[in-house]
């Protein structure tokens, strides 16, 4: 029952999209999945069709009280995966918890109580290295890093590696187990160069599956459906389905 944190210190690279799409496809393989929204932007929460302004419990409650907050924070979705959703108020957690001892271990403590029930737990994280990302990293057994197929992405990757080196001093068990190329457009030579460089540098840490740039992935969250439901025959839905197979094999 691995806990996978989806992290990258940069917005718009496909973290939330990957958490949702991969989680749904793993669910369709018959695995029991929990997704956790650790981003106050609530993109993941909205993308499964929940209205963050109408939630009575969320990941915020869990952070305030990991032991008692976790059960009620878990909610089913229409897509056979469970979610611990976020509300906009999550941003306050950083302030409230500042100065609390062990504040980066709250999510870890909460998930330890429920992880036996799930085959995979996927955590979506915000684009900054604040308390919420630290909680994600501390709770995760391994990290999945989306790498946007863009010319500057390798710099971002180097930056993230520095960050993770630091985290590993605190939590030696967390490791990067996969780099995922997202928004790949093979027609451009820049894309090809980035992918080639990533594979040369990181070898088989880079998932064989790459996620193509596909406008359906922009549309799907707006209607609150995962890509595998919204456009099952699209190139991106099929890519995430292949990724689910690869992830199951890799972490299996
Ligand atoms: P992050 O969580 O890292 O900020 P998102 O997953 O929210 O990134 O993706 C940023 C934007 O790009 C969203 O509008 C999303 O719908 C879109 N997107 C994500 N992956 C793809 C893709 N492979 N092709 C096209 N658009 C994508
Ligand atoms: Mg996001």
What is the C-alpha to C-alpha distance for residues 16 and 138, in angstroms, rounded to an integer?
19
pLDDT value at residue 155: 72
Question: Is it the case that residue 151 has pLDDT exceeding 70?
Answer: no
pLDDT (average), residues 159-171:
71
pLDDT tens by residue, 218-250 = 999 999 999 999 999 999 999 999 999 999 999
pLDDT value at residue 201: 83
Which of 10, 15, 17 has most ligand 1 atoms within 8 Å of CB, for mutation? Answer: 17
- The answer to which of 3-17, 91-105, 137-151, 207-221 has the lowest mean pLDDT is 137-151
Percent of the chain with pLDDT over 70: 95
In 3D space, the residue among 106, 103, 137 whose CA is nearest the CA of residue 123 turns out to be: 137
Which of 9, 11, 12, 183 has most ligand 1 atoms within 8 Å of CB, for mutation? Answer: 12
Question: Is it the case that residue 116 has pLDDT exceeding 90?
Answer: yes
Q: Is 5 helix (H, G, I), strand (E, B) or coil?
A: strand
Question: Is it the case that residue 75 has pLDDT exceeding 90?
Answer: yes
Ligand number, closest to the Cα atom of 7: 1
Chain mean pLDDT for the chain: 91
Compute the chain's Rg from CA coordinates. 17
Cβ-based neighbours of 251, under 8 Å, separated by 6 or more: 2, 4, 120, 142, 177
Cβ–ligand 1 distance for 191 under 6 Å, the answer no
Question: Is it the case that residue 4 has pLDDT exceeding 70?
Answer: yes
Cβ–ligand 1 distance for 22 under 6 Å, the answer no
Ligand number, closest to the Cα atom of 180: 1
Cβ–ligand 1 distance for 211 under 6 Å, the answer yes
**pTM as predicted:** 0.94
Cβ-based neighbours of 234, under 8 Å, separated by 6 or more: 214, 216, 227
Closest C-alpha to ligand 1, atom 14: 218
pLDDT band at 106 (very low <50, low <70, confident <90, very high): very high
Cβ–ligand 1 distance for 182 under 6 Å, the answer yes
Question: Is it the case that residue 77 has pLDDT exceeding 90?
Answer: yes
Helix or strand holding residue 123 (H, E): strand 120-124
Measured from the Cα of 212, ligand 1's closest atom is: 23
pLDDT value at residue 31: 97
pLDDT value at residue 154: 65
Cβ–ligand 1 distance for 213 under 6 Å, the answer yes
């Amino acid at each position: 029952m691995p806990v996978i944190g989806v992290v990258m210190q940069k917005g718009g690279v496909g973290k939330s999209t990957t958490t949702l799409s991969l989680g749904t496809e793993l669910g369709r393989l018959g695995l029991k999945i929990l997704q956790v929204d650790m981003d106050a932007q609530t993109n993941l929460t909205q993308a499964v069709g929940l209205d963050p302004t109408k939630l009575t419990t969320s990941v915020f409650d869990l952070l305030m009280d990991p032991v008692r907050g976790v059960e009620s924070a878990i909610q089913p979705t229409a897509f056979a995966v469970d979610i611990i959703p976020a509300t906009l108020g999550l941003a306050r957690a950083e302030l409230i918890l500042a100065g609390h001892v062990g504040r980066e271990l709250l999510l870890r403590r909460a998930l330890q109580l429920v992880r036996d029930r799930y085959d995979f737990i996927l955590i979506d994280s915000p684009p900054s290295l604040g308390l919420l990302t630290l909680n994600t990293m501390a709770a995760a057994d391994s990290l999945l890093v989306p790498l946007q197929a863009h010319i500057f992405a390798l710099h971002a990757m180097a930056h993230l590696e520095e960050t993770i080196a630091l985290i590993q001093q605190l939590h030696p068990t967390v490791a990067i187990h996969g780099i995922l190329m997202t928004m790949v457009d093979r027609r451009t030579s820049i894309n090809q160069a980035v992918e080639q460089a990533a594979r040369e540098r990181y070898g088989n840490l880079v998932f064989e599956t790459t996620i193509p740039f596909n406008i359906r992935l922009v549309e799907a969250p707006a209607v609150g459906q995962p890509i595998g439901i919204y456009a099952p025959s699209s190139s991106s839905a099929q890519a995430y389905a292949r990724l689910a197979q690869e992830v199951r094999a890799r972490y299996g």
